[in-house]
Amino acid sequence: MRRHRRVKILATLGPASQDRATLVRLFEAGADVFRINMSHSSHDAMRERIRMIRSIEAEYKRPIGILVDLQGPKLRVGTFADGPVDLPKGASFVLDSDPTPGDINRVHLPHPEILRALRPGHTVLIDDGKVKLHIAEATETRAVATVDVAGRISNKKGVSLPDTEISTSAMTAKDRSDLDAALNEGVDWIAVSFVQRADDVAEVKKIARGRASVLAKIEKPQAITKLEEIVEISDALMVARGDLGVEMPLEKVPGLQKRITRLCRRMGKPVVVATQMLESMITLPVPTRAEVSDVATAVFEGADAVMLSAESASGQFPFEAVSTMNRIAEEVERDPLYGQIIASQRSEPEPTGADTMAFATRVAAENLDLKAVVAWTASGATGLRIARERPNMPVLALTPNIDAARRLTLAWGVHPLVTADARDVDDMARRACALAFSEGFAGADDRIIIVAGLPFGSPGATNMVRLAFVKAETATTA
């Protein structure tokens, strides 16, 4: 099941992908990580899907990542007494704390934290931006708005606030319950929705206590203003282009995608590009040419992973969607320009021992045209450091820790494999050669480079690089 591409594929599960046979097909087609969206999943459904994924993992003897995506706060207007209302441009419309059903003049906004945060001049978007208002007057219980973009509002439509930072937590009571359930099931990644500040991520990490890595979804303008702080504290990021494109002008999203991707690469954090990548494949067996180019752009940028949402969760062609994404990625990575683009975006190594060792490993491997980098890693950190360098040969990450292996399924170019830790330096080299040979990364008489830390099993102790020849007579046992 070795993947012949560096970028990883993250597939969302849903009604179209809820049985084991379909999950097997998606894994075989190229899915490296499965996403469970708690906006549409019960705890029992989550547990059943995790059970199936782990059984597939055991059958194929390959780590599979599981990401649980927390719903986050869903902001919605209240209800209307006589059905939907049509707001004309220039009309005055009130959002208030009165729970009485609304009319053409006002509606209940059942979020006191929003009313407290709104200020004159702030924009309010309703129903994914179909209706646009700006605030003229605001108190803690009532906001008077003017309609800038006319449209219809009906019961419980969503509210987006591109200019307003809400002081409450990004986690709701439902999110806390979902987080506890996911951590108890041993998932690998937790995605935090509607992140506004680093503290939103810190709150989840404090609860997780290392039991899962935490991914911040960038989908609000407030997060863009604090991007470096959020990247610093997060274990990974997602460019969630759907909500980001609602709360910001659509034409800004491509540039933000590049900015976020390059910042994550510089800081050594995996980055996922998501939303509407192959959207037409929800109902059609082939994508549009523009969608193919969209996926290809993310791969050319060096994103760690590309994600399918409704395409694999509720679409009519989940297998075809994963297969198509896999073929696009493989073809892009064969393109003669791909290596040049990836190399041109490399950053200087951070002034740390681990980054310096990763940099030296990549330079040596490319200068000597070695077949593979083999990284012994206890926590997965060495694998991530090597992935940051974007070497032009594959990376085989060997770890005794199944949790580390599963988390590395999201990292660019890293093929994680669970194996017993090395006993000494000679055992390290022998087994690295044997596993590189058996996994198809190197042939007899090829050279590889091995990076590890001494003493073995000590997280964060990357301090040794060694060259080794793969010999046919010694490459049969691991």
- CA 156, 157, 161 angle in degrees (round to 5)? 120
Cα dihedral 127, 131, 134, 140 sign: negative
Burial class (CB in 10 A: 0-12, 13-18, 19+), 304: buried
Residue ranges of the alpha helices (H) in 170-240?
A: 173-184, 198-208, 221-225, 227-233
Separation CA 142–CA 218 (nearest Å): 29
User: Could you check whether the bond before residue 455 is cis, i.e. omega within 30 degrees of 0?
Assistant: yes
CA dihedral 415, 421, 422, 423 (to 10 degrees): 180
Contact predicate 330/29, CB 8 Å: no
DSSP 217: E
Separation CA 468–CA 429 (nearest Å): 7
- Catalytic amino acids? 35, 76, 217, 275
Cα dihedral 71, 166, 116, 79 sign: negative
CA 23 to chain centroid: 19
Any residues with CB less than 8 A from the CB of 452 and at least 6 apart, and which?
375, 376, 382, 422, 428, 462, 464, 466
Strand partners, 11: 34, 308
Residue ranges of the alpha helices (H) in 213-309?
A: 221-225, 227-233, 241-247, 253-267, 289-300
CA dihedral 365, 366, 371, 372 (to 10 degrees): 50
| Residue whose structure tokens are 């491997």 | 365
Strand partners, 10: 33, 307
Separation CA 193–CA 183 (nearest Å): 17
Helix pair angle (353-367, 381-389), 10° resolution = 50
Contact predicate 410/268, CB 8 Å: no
Strand partners, 210: none
